[in-house]
């Protein structure tokens, strides 16, 4: 996931305060921890303002200096530990005058505000008024000229923390994916009871005036109908809704789920409430229907993996922004676009957000949708195009209809099923024929003609609809490659008249596509368009920074680590060495390390040596000795399964125990294939939908082309991927293709792994880099060299 700029060198000593404001959001604590530690690491002084803007106005004990240990263990905690508030006083100039005075008196010259659209609007007001507030304070005699002189400008940096994801300019806000996880867990559970009784459920989700939570949960759970404020249904929606639900029932669906955003409205801005919807379903369709209002359960609980990493990286970026933004430059807000942390002027983001509200009020819904963020509109049409397959206008002409084969290759990964479901739904909407190849390429070659059912089967809408939240691979996956039997693979391609191939899987899927491409010279059956959608927990597929399943894996890993840390904390003075999967890529170990605040992470890219181990044992010793009563906090070390042949997980745990001389203990823990299982995370589900549809669209572009035209186009065998702030296709072959340029075939990973710098960040935030710097010095260079060989 997420890439970020490398940490900055200290510029000058600053006094940086952080506050959380508005509705609390999971991940806010991670942001505060990162701001505090990064500030201290860069030689600045860190402060926390308690109770949001209320604390800023009140001052006194509510503004406290923070030490490194004060934020220990905060990453996994829900809510905000420094408190939040909706402050009426800050809305008044008198309150902001008091706030300005409190900052100046403490010498605080930078303020990081983590909150939603309201909080950041407040921050923008404060920023714009700052010079006039200071002048007024001098005029009233509250401060002197001399006192304000060093503070003529206040650096304000915004961090978007809100479950609503209602800030324009950023794809995600800190907390929105945790909240989405809570919603999806609840709806997944409702599935069972709804299906048992063939009931309808109307589920109301939060989000005030923003439909992001509603839309993404509808996609993640395959809801039959959706109401969001930005795109109200057309007049007569009651008939439309009933007709879609009736058709879905006629197709055999036993449950009906309708998601209603709390701010839902019709085109005349009249509220559409969940009870109204329920009444319509009950009276018009005679459907036994219940309403479930999820309420504040959506805001509580520990942050998901994404929110821990996002809040950490954005907190770090906020400190960097304080340190490197010129005093008179516009205040930035830290955003994320796809996989890239960026900055944009706070004023611009606030203006755009306000414009969304204004457009909705003016009933200009199309513009409101477009202004939300780049993904929103795409997700909305993806949902519409797959939820019901009755879109006559979407059908392509007869001669452009394709037989699209779908195959899974490699180890199972969360998101494989939702991706297949999305591809099937989209194919049916367009008039194509989706065909599943069961049990991978060996299944195709050996079992296609089995009786009574072979391994090559058309997929119906109803069959695939149930895959929306299923983990693993329903059509079966394995590591068999087409190269093991090219001849029979080609014969089967011909026999079943495949016009296009959609491969979902990891490094083997990538290898399979490469083999098919290279074999085109000998087998014309392979001269069809082929797309690979990376799906592997290892996240080691060239051409992308994100593979389906990696987010699900990270979530299972952090749950495992949280539970283990609790055990370690209870036993006191214990270190757990946890072994992660990931093959020869340290991505999972490193990202999980960032999300759980690991003391150290061992990865194959770097290897393990005795010097490193001895330094780390010293670091642990030092840590336990100086924890100042916080030694309850258990420590986690993560070791990728292939980091070293000699220093196995057990050996490392034993060495730590031996060397600790009874001062602390250690244990090894191996979650193993637990990391591949479980229901896919909402991020893997929603991205599966979006990327699978893009893959089929890419395949469609080749309809009507000759075999040689297809074979002559490098993009006819392509991998879809997230690269920085974009989603794009990269060709497998050709001089600039992934196979030649980007693939370290021996180590089964990309030549350049985008996340390598995160290793340094794990060390900075755990304090490891302050300890034994001599050993870590030069690491970035070493890693970069290894990555490019």
Ligand X SMILES: Nc1ncnc2c1ncn2[C@@H]1O[C@H](COP(=O)(O)OP(=O)(O)OP(=O)(O)O)[C@@H](O)[C@H]1O
Ligand Y SMILES: O=P(O)(O)OC[C@H]1O[C@](O)(CO)[C@@H](O)[C@@H]1O
Binding footprint of ligand X on the chain (CB under 6 A): 21-23, 53, 86-87, 90-91, 115-119, 121-122, 125, 162, 164, 208
Spatial separation of the C-alpha atoms in residues 785 and 789, rounded to whole Å: 7
Spatial separation of the C-alpha atoms in residues 136 and 516, rounded to whole Å: 73
Does position 54 bind ligand Y by CB under 6 A?
no
122 binds, among Mg ion, ligand X, ligand Y, none (CB under 5 to 8 A by kind): ligand X
H or E element in which residue 646 lies: none
Q: Any binding-site annotation on 538?
A: yes
51, 109, 164, 375: residue in contact with ligand Y (rule CB under 6 A): 164
23, 115, 222, 542: residue in contact with ligand Y (rule CB under 6 A): 23
Contact 57, 87 (CB under 8 A): yes
| Tokens 């009906």 -> residue | 256
Buried/exposed code over 765-786 (b: 16+ C-beta within 10 A; e: otherwise): bbbbbebbeebbeebeeebeeb
- By CB under 6 A, which span of 123-131, 159-167, 253-261, 745-753 interacts with ligand Y? 159-167
Q: Any binding-site annotation on 540?
A: yes
Contact 278, 291 (CB under 8 A): yes
Specify the 3-state DSSP secondary structure of 365: helix
Cα–Cα distance list, 705 to 95, 191, 726 (Å): 68, 43, 28
Q: Based on the residue annotation, tell me whether 142 is a catalytic residue of this protein.
A: no
Q: Any binding-site annotation on 628?
A: no
Q: Any binding-site annotation on 517?
A: no
Contact 217, 468 (CB under 8 A): no
Q: Which is nearer to ligand X, 175 or 682 (CB)?
A: 175
Does position 52 bind ligand Y by CB under 6 A?
no
| Tokens 């191996």 -> residue | 670
- By CB under 5 A, which span of 32-40, 113-121, 503-511, 745-753 interacts with Mg ion? 113-121
24, 117, 262, 744: residue in contact with Mg ion (rule CB under 5 A): 117
For the chain, the straight-line distance linking the first and the last C-alpha, in angstroms and rounded, comes to 23
79, 116, 410, 442: residue in contact with Mg ion (rule CB under 5 A): 116
Does position 116 bind ligand Y by CB under 6 A?
yes
Contact partners, residue 494, CB within 8 Å, separation at least 6: 525
Least gap, CB of 249 to Mg ion (angstroms): 37
Q: Which is nearer to ligand Y, 181 or 540 (CB)?
A: 181
CA 31 to chain centre: 16
Spatial separation of the C-alpha atoms in residues 77 and 83, rounded to whole Å: 13
CA 623 to chain centre: 32
Does position 163 bind ligand Y by CB under 6 A?
yes
Q: Which is nearer to ligand X, 90 or 502 (CB)?
A: 90
Cα–Cα distance list, 578 to 536, 537, 565, 596 (Å): 20, 16, 11, 12
- By CB under 5 A, which span of 38-46, 114-122, 241-249, 552-560 interacts with Mg ion? 114-122
User: Would you put residue 87 in left (φ > 0), alpha (ψ -120 to 50) or beta?
Assistant: beta
Contact 612, 775 (CB under 8 A): yes
Nearest to 208 by CA among 186, 229, 231, 225: 229
Least gap, CB of 221 to ligand X (angstroms): 23
Q: Any binding-site annotation on 290?
A: yes
Q: Which is nearer to ligand Y, 593 or 682 (CB)?
A: 682
Peptide bond preceding 41 in cis form (omega within 30 of 0): no
Least gap, CB of 183 to ligand Y (angstroms): 11
User: Would you put residue 392 in left (φ > 0), alpha (ψ -120 to 50) or beta?
Assistant: alpha
Binding mask 547-586 toward ligand Y (x if CB under 6 A, else -) reads ----------------------------------------
Q: Which is nearer to ligand Y, 373 or 700 (CB)?
A: 373
Q: Please pick, among 70, 109, 164, 499, the residue that the annotation labels catalytic.
A: 164
41, 127, 253, 299: residue in contact with ligand Y (rule CB under 6 A): 299
CA torsion sign, 598 to 604 to 610 to 615? Answer: negative
Least gap, CB of 171 to ligand X (angstroms): 16
Binding mask 204-243 toward ligand Y (x if CB under 6 A, else -) reads --xxx-----------------------------------
CA torsion sign, 735 to 738 to 739 to 743? Answer: positive
- Interior CA angle at 156 toward 150 and 158, to 5°? 170
Number of residues that bind ligand Y (CB under 6 A): 10
Contact 720, 447 (CB under 8 A): no
Q: Any binding-site annotation on 276?
A: no
Does position 24 bind Mg ion by CB under 5 A?
no
42, 162, 178, 417: residue in contact with ligand Y (rule CB under 6 A): 162
Neighbours of 377 (CB within 10 A): 16
Q: Any binding-site annotation on 163?
A: yes
Catalytic residue positions? 164
Q: Residue positions in the annotated binding site?
A: 23, 86-87, 116-119, 162-164, 199, 206-208, 262, 290, 296-299, 479, 536-540, 574, 581-583, 641, 667, 673-676, 748
Interface positions with Mg ion (CB under 5 A): 116-118
Q: Residue positions in the annotated binding site for beta-D-fructose 2,6-bisphosphate?
A: 479, 536-540, 574, 581-583, 641, 667, 673-676, 748
Q: Residue positions in the annotated binding site for Mg(2+)?
A: 117
Q: Residue positions in the annotated binding site for substrate?
A: 162-164, 199, 206-208, 262, 290, 296-299
Interface positions with ligand Y (CB under 6 A): 23, 116, 162-164, 206-208, 262, 299
């Amino acid at each position: 996931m997420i890439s970020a700029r490398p940490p900055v060198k200290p510029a000058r000593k600053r006094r940086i305060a952080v506050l959380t404001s508005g509705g609390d959001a999971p991940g806010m604590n991670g942001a505060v921890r990162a701001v505090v530690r990064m500030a201290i690491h860069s030689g600045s002084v860190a402060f926390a303002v308690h109770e949001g803007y209320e604390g800023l106005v009140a001052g006194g004990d509510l503004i406290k200096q923070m030490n490194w240990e004060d934020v220990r263990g905060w990453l996994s905690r829900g809510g905000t530990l420094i408190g939040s508030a909706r402050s009426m006083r800050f809305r008044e100039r008198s309150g902001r005058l008091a706030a300005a005075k409190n900052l100046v008196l403490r010498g605080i010259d930078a303020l990081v505000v983590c909150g939603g659209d309201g909080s950041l609007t407040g921050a923008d007001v404060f920023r714009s008024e700052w010079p006039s507030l200071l002048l007024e304070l001098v005029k009233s005699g509250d401060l002197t000229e001399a006192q304000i002189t060093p503070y003529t400008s206040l650096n304000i940096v915004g961090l978007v923390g809100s479950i609503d994801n209602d800030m324009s300019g950023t794809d995600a806000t800190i907390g929105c994916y945790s909240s989405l996880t809570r919603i999806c867990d609840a709806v997944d559970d409702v599935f069972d009871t709804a299906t048992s009784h063939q009931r309808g459920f109307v589920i109301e989700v939060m989000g005030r005036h923003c439909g992001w939570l509603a839309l993404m949960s509808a996609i993640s759970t395959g809801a039959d109908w959706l109401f969001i404020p930005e795109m109200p249904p057309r007049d007569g929606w009651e008939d439309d809704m009933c007709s879609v639900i009736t058709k879905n029932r006629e197709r055999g669906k036993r449950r009906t789920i309708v998601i209603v955003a709390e701010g839902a409205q019709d085109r005349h801005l009249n509220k559409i409430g969940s009870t109204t919807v329920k009444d319509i379903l009950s009276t018009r369709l005679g459907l036994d229907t219940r309403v479930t209002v999820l309420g504040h359960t959506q805001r509580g609980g520990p942050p998901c993996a994404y929110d821990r990493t996002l809040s950490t990286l954005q907190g770090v970026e906020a400190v960097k922004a304080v340190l490197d933004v010129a005093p008179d430059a516009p205040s930035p807000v830290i955003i994320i676009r796809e996989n890239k942390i960026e900055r944009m002027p706070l004023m611009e983001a606030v203006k755009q957000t306000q414009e969304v509200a204004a457009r909705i009020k003016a009933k200009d819904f199309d513009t409101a949708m477009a202004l939300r963020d780049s993904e929103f509109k795409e997700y909305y049409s993806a949902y519409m195009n797959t939820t019901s397959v009755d879109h006559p206008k979407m059908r392509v002409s007869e001669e452009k209809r394709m037989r699209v084969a779908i195959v899974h290759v490699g180890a199972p990964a969360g998101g494989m099923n939702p991706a297949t479901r999305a591809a099937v739904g989209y194919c049916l909407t367009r008039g194509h024929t989706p065909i599943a190849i069961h049990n991978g390429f060996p299944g195709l070659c050996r079992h296609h003609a089995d009786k009574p059912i072979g391994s090559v089967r058309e997929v119906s809408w109803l069959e695939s609809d149930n895959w929306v939240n299923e983990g693993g691979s329903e059509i079966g996956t394995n590591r068999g490659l087409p190269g093991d039997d090219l001849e029979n693979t080609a014969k089967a391609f011909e026999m079943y008249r495949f016009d296009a191939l959609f491969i979902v899987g990891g490094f083997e899927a990538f290898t399979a596509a490469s083999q098919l491409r290279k074999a085109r010279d000998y087998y014309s059956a392979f001269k069809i368009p082929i797309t690979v959608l990376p799906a592997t927990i290892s996240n080691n597929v060239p051409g992308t920074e994100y593979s389906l399943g990696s987010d699900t894996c990270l979530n299972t890993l952090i749950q495992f680590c949280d539970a283990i840390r609790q055990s370690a904390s209870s036993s006191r003075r214990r270190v757990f060495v946890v072994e992660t999967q990931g093959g020869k890529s340290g991505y999972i170990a490193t990202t999980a390390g960032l999300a759980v605040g690991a003391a150290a992470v061992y990865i194959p890219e770097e290897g393990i040596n005795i010097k490193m181990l001895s330094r780390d044992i010293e670091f642990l010793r030092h840590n336990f000795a100086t924890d100042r009563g916080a030694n309850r906090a258990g420590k986690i070390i993560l070791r990728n399964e292939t980091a070293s042949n000699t220093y196995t997980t057990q050996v490392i745990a034993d060495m730590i125990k031996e060397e600790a001389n009874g001062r602390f203990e250690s244990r090894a823990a191996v979650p193993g294939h637990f990391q591949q299982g479980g229901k896919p995370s909402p991020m893997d589900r929603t991205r599966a939908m979006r990327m699978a549809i893009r893959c089929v669209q890419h395949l469609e572009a080749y309809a009507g082309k000759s075999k040689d035209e297809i074979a002559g186009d490098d993009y006819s065998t392509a991998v879809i991927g997230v690269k920085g702030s974009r989603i794009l296709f990269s060709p497998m072959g050709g001089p600039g293709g992934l196979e030649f340029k980007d693939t370290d075939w021996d180590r089964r990973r990309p030549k350049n792994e985008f996340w390598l710098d995160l290793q340094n960040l794990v060390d900075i935030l755990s304090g490891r880099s302050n300890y034994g710097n001599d050993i870590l010095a030069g690491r970035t260079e070493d890693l970069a060299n290894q990555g490019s060989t």
